[in-house]
Amino acid sequence: RDRYEYSHKRLQPYIEFGLSPHLHLNSRRNIKTEYYSDSSIYNERDAIGFNKLQFVLVLSAGINYHFFKRLTAFGQPSYRHHLSSMRINADGTKAHFYSIGFEFGVRYSFSSYFKSTKS
């Protein structure tokens, strides 16, 4: 993934995009109706036409806030779109998944982000 940062100040906007491989481990199915409720984990990887290795397009834009030279907080909305189909249904249609979310956290850098101005 690539990230383009637009300043070297304390508050730093950025955009990020790229391709990410994902490995599908299991699936969870929740069924709720007026008369019936069921939640189960099942192994969809055994289904015919299932692709357990997915390639996902990732797009996000966010803001970094540098507290100190090595400590940074970040927040970003993100969009992920599966480029490869998850499975081929019995009628020949393909299922492509997507997700929209928000990520936030704290990063610690082992090397200083800001360059020293001393010679």
Residue 69 phi, psi dihedral angles, 5° rounding: -60, -35
Mean pLDDT (10-residue bins), the chain, 119 residues: 84 94 72 66 55 87 91 95 73 77 92 54
The predicted pLDDT at position 3 comes to 85
The predicted pLDDT at position 95 comes to 72
C-alpha separations of 95 from 35, 66, 109, 110, 111 in Å = 28, 41, 39, 41, 43
The predicted pLDDT at position 31 comes to 66
Please, what is the Cα angle at 24 between 32 and 49, to 5 degrees? 85
List the beta bridge partners of residue 60. Answer: 16, 78
